[in-house]
Amino acid sequence: MGFLEQFVVSNPAIAYLILFVGMFIEGEIFFVTASIFAIQGELSLTRIVIISLIGVILGDITWYYMGRFSKDTRLGIWLSKKTKGYEPWINKNLISNYWKMAFFSKFLYYVNRFVPLMAGWQKMDFKKFLKIHVGAAIAWVSVMWVASHFLRFIIEAIGAKAVLHRIEWVFIGFGVLFIGGEYLLKNLFAKKINKSDKTAV
């Protein structure tokens, strides 16, 4: 039994807490890793879904209020410099197409944090924000729930013991896969913004 598996078996409550905190950082990695333990019966998939849903919603709310109250702080000034090139596009498209941005951003790590931050920055109505992000969170968790069932077939084909014996490497592999893939998507997203700005001009 590997270290990570032993930790989860011995401390399931802490494992769920780590999963919850993980939703504020990189949801896919933590959800998929937790679902591997659920497949083995060491964690509850129902609890994973509920905890992940709550974590995603609270994470979005946190980023919203960070944007709302940090505009004139050092963080706000730093963020203004970082997003200066995208500011015209943000002002034009973010609020008017916000529900699309919120849903698609759930699957893009860098954009995922940026979108609710910008909603708070623009002082978007919180009730509207919450309604959109609850829907987006449900959609994301639903996709991840379906993915966990496909993962079950893969693990059964490979062998559960073989996967769990190398679970630490599996976790790292997921990190490279998700963050690396999302980094590429982020660059495509940035290129799309630049292209739309040039077209507008």
- 109-131, pLDDT tens digit by residue? 667 888 888 888 888 899 999 99
Residue 37 has pLDDT above 80, yes or no: yes
- Give the pLDDT score at 201: 45
- Give the pLDDT score at 68: 87
Average pLDDT over residues 64-69: 88
- 172-185, pLDDT tens digit by residue? 565 566 566 566 65
Number of domains in the chain: 1
Segments forming the whole domain that contains residue 22: 3-200
SS (H, E, C) the chain: CCHHHHHHHHCHHHHHHHHHHHCCCCHHHHHHHHHHHHHCCCCCHHHHHHHHHHHHHHHHHHHHHHHHHCCCCHHHHHHHHHCHHHHHHHHHHCCCCHHHHHHHHCCCHHHHHHHHHHHHHCCCCHHHHHHHHHHHHHHHHHHHHHHHHHHHHHHHHHCHHHHHHCHHHHHHHHHHHHHHHHHHHHHHHHHHHHHHHHHHC
